[in-house]
Amino acid sequence: MVDLDWKAKMVSSDISNKSSKLSIPTPFRLLNMSSPLSTSASASSAYDYYLRLPELRMLWEAKEFPDWQNEVVLKPALHALEITFRFISIVLSDPRPYSNRREWTRRLESLATSQIELIAMICEDENEDKTTAGTAPIVDLTSSNGVLARECSSTEVWKVHGETTVVNRTSESSLLPRLATWQKSEDVAEKILYSIECEMRRCPYTLGLGEPNLSGKPNLDYDAVCKPNELHAVKKSPYDHVDNHENATLYTVHQILEAWIQTAKQVLKRIVSRIDAGNFETAANDGYLTEKIWKLLSEIEDLHLLMDPDDFLRLKSQLMIKSVTETEAFCFRSKGLVEITKMSKELKHKVPFILGVEVDPKGGPRIQEAAMKLYAEKQEGNKVFLVQALQAIEGALKRFFYGYKQVLVVVMGSLEAKGNRVVTSSDSGDSLSQIFLEPTYFPSLDAAKTFLGEFWSRGQGGSGLTRWIKK
């Protein structure tokens, strides 16, 4: 929940009196209104029903491999990638002559590559964590001793790596191998397969979707983890009868979005637990992963810009999508998005623990001074990486909501998007503006950098800063 009564805490400094007084800009004045991170329960329920989110959440939260801690993080990410394969099929099967198929293809190739990059980061992190290394369900390709299995229909090819003969197995249920055999999509599928090969090169295993696997790595048991058949069983919305091709587009885009929101939620939980355990390096890795997920969410939302304007606005009317209140943003109908926004902002409460100090009950600059010492001494790099990652999350979060506001204008028009209030008002009273215009979540880190920069800009950084640190 946004703290509308937040006030900037000015801190004292021993900067030379010869210099002009340093001032910190006062925060934006926000209207005294209800939290922007809220919407009506009925609107949220309708959103969940349209996307069949209760069924998807059951798939995401099912624990099939109790010893594999990374399952809850990786599974929804794999689901998002698999839904993207289905999306490619939808776009390339679009019979409308006015569909911008070329740009759709480019965007979906880029989206698939971005997702594969994040999946590779998740898998790579798993190998570095001693508690999770070796727990993923994999298929050892060397165990067959070069003998091709005859009892299944999965594609298997011979590969020689050094003196070792390897059998490479491809998922039986995923749509990607099928896209590779379809004339319309074979070039797209090949690009995705090579992206998997490149991005997974530092991971202990590969995905097993038909990528070359030149290094002969074990394959993730993709079908057992992702369960594509169960996932594609929810490919149709309850409003599939609506005669509008953009219905499938809207439905699929938001399923991909929600899958990554689920992954972000699990990563944010892991950041908190790793900070509490003092594992600052791994928490920093998760912090940068969360930043990239926020950027990916922006990329997903941008797909709305390629939808046909007339068809989309007709679909909006057919589905009776409308604002409940003047200040409500459509995106806040997603309970998951609201939750990860709050979780991202709540990370600010972990800063005192990271810096090893307690909050001064009198409002003194204790946290700021600890941050300045951390930056200047350069002795605890992991802590620096972590606080930098936390601020990176804030930046990506605010860019997401700013970008979403622009998408609303382009897709619906400035008057239609939010009843002439959210996107056309010159003040910051709308729910989206409140988020990306509010003051920094980390005022002490911000002030520390401000005053530390003053030391250097005034030529006092050397001896003056050293004396201050030793106090």
Q: What is the pLDDT of residue 142?
A: 56
Q: How far apart are CA 282 and CA 176, in angstroms?
A: 32
Task: Band the pLDDT of 413: cuts 50, 70, 90.
Answer: confident
What phi and psi values does residue 413 have, to the nearest 5 degrees? Answer: 90, 150
- Paired residues of 220 in beta bridges: 138
More confident residue, 427 or 7: 427
Examine the pLDDT at 152 and tell me if it is beyond 70: no
Per-residue pLDDT band at 15 (split at 50, 70, 90): very low
pLDDT at 126: 82
Say whether pLDDT at 130 is over 90: no
pTM above 0.75, yes or no: yes
| Long-range pairs for 395-398: beta carbons < 8 A, 24 or more residues apart | 395/291, 396/290, 396/291, 396/292, 396/294, 396/295, 397/294, 397/341, 397/344, 397/345, 397/435, 398/435, 398/436
| Model pLDDT, residue 98 | 95
The answer to whether the CB of 14 falls within 8 A of the CB of 458 is no
Tell me: pLDDT of 28 over 60. Answer: no
- pLDDT at residue 3, as a whole number: 36
Contact 91, 104 (CB under 8 A): yes
- The one-letter code for the residue type at 163 is E
Residue 17: pLDDT band by 50, 70, 90 thresholds?
A: very low
> At residue 238, does pLDDT exceed 90?
yes
Q: What Cα–Cα distance (Å) separates residue 161 from each residue in 215, 246, 348, 355?
A: 7, 47, 49, 48
pLDDT, averaged across the chain? 84
Q: What letter does residue 172 receive in the DSSP assignment?
A: S
pLDDT confidence of residue 458 = 78
d(CA 367, CA 371): 6
The phi, psi pair for 29, rounded to 5°, reads -85, 120
Task: Report the pLDDT value the prediction gives residue 251, as an integer from 0 to 100.
Answer: 97
Task: Please report the pLDDT score of residue 463 as a whole number.
Answer: 52
Q: How far is CA 281 from the centre of its chain?
A: 19
Instruction: Return phi, psi of residue 98, to 5°.
Output: -95, 5
Q: What is the pLDDT of residues 439-464, one digit of tens each?
A: 999 999 999 999 888 888 876 555 55
| Sign of the torsion angle spanned by Cα atoms 249, 254, 287, 231 | negative
Three-class SS state of 138: strand
Comparing 146-155, 208-217, 376-385, 432-441, which segment has the lowest mean pLDDT? 146-155
pLDDT confidence bin for 432, thresholds 50/70/90: confident
Asked if residue 146 has pLDDT above 50, the reply is: no
The answer to whether residue 89 scores a pLDDT higher than 70 is yes
pLDDT in tens, 309-366: 999 999 999 998 877 665 677 888 999 999 999 999 999 999 999 999 998 888 788 9
Q: What is the pLDDT of residue 141?
A: 59
**Cβ atoms of residues 260 and 75 within 8 Å:** no
For residue 196, give the amino acid letter.
I
More confident residue, 71 or 132: 71
**Mean pLDDT score, 95-111:** 96
Query: Per-residue pLDDT tens for 167-206?
Result: 567 899 999 999 999 999 999 999 999 999 999 999 999 9
